[in-house]
Each structure stands twice: as C-alpha cells, then as structure tokens.
Amino acid sequence: MTRHAPVFVVLSALIILGGAGGVAVAQIPDVFTNLKVLPKDIGKRELINVMRGFAGAVGGRCNYCHVGENADTLEGFDWASDDVETKPVARAMMKMTSEKTIGCCRSPVGSS
C-alpha cells in the first residue's frame, strides 16, 4: 500500500457522499500550491472531486475552507491561503484519519 493510499480511501468515501454537481473549473488553477496532505501531483479533476466531497460532507461551499467571496463563480479565490481556520483543521483531520487507517492495518510486531 502506498503512503497516500489510506488518505484516498477516506477521500473516496467523501467523494461518493459529495455527489455530482457543477463547478467553475475555469477558476481552478492548473498548478496547485500549498498542498500539504494531498499528493503534489494530483490531477485537476481528482482535486475537484476531493474538494466536492468535502463540501458535501460539511454542507458548505468552497469559501468554508478557502479565502473567497463568490462561491458560485470562484472568481478571486486565494486557494493557497491558510487564512480560513477550517482549512488547517481539515488538514489535521485528514492526517489523523490517515494515521489511524495505517495503524489499524499493520501487523503486530513479531507476527508472521
């Protein structure tokens, strides 16, 4: 299992819960900065699906975790900013979930 596999297991569940819907893809950057938990080489569509899953899970819009005013058009959003308190909290929860998932799947030391 790769290092990021547990994160994707959790995120896959969130994506399924997020359902389908439109997003202003043109406003999402092609190059991502400030990725601290998700893989640095994540694709645009995959990142949008992950974020859509989070939005559906928390019942919020993009501005729940990201700096920006117009959640309908996503114009003017500062995606890399950590100024919204919920963004670092979401990262901490992703890390915690990943660590718990990895921990539960390891074999006890000395077992065969």
Residue 104 included in any domain: no
pLDDT, tens digit, for every residue of 12-52?
Answer: 555 544 444 455 555 788 889 999 999 999 999 999 998 99
Domain that holds residue 80: 5-18+33-99
Q: How far apart are the first and last CA of the chain?
A: 18
Mean pLDDT of 95-99: 82
Q: Does the pTM exceed 0.75?
A: no
pLDDT of residue 42: 92
Residue 111 included in any domain: no
pLDDT, tens digit, for every residue of 44-84?
Answer: 999 999 899 888 888 999 999 999 988 888 888 999 999 99
Residue 67 included in any domain: yes
